[in-house]
Amino acid sequence: MARRDRLSDAAITEALATLPGWTREGDQVTRAFEFKDFSEAFGFLARVALLQERADHHAEVSSVYNRVRLTLSTHDAGGITAVDIDLAREIDGVSG
């Protein structure tokens, strides 16, 4: 299976069991983060931006003051792929 092939429901469930805070919403995985203040949230978004560029895979981002919500999906695959799961793991690594 290629990294950009859509994962099975079982594979997604198994992966999410190892990613605390990430949940499945249809054909996407999402997580909300909360930081001390705007500066911490913005710094996190900058780190995430670098990860996304390196992976050539970009999350849907919503940010309000100290709260950030990220949503991952591989649109050309029509759902969740290994690329989304790997990026979620990397994002967790820079979340502080």
For the chain, the domains span 9-93
The torsion of the CA quartet 10, 14, 15, 16, rounded to 10 degrees, works out to 100
pTM: 0.93
Question: Which residues, in sequence order, are CB contacts of 71 under 8 Å at separation 6+?
Answer: 25, 28, 29, 30, 59, 60, 61, 62
Q: How confident is the model over 53-63, as a mean pLDDT?
A: 94
Helix (H, G, I), strand (E, B) or coil at 81: strand
Instruction: Name the CATH topology of 9-93.
Output: Gyrase A; domain 2 (3.30.1360)
In the predicted model, what is the mean pLDDT of residues 90-94? 96
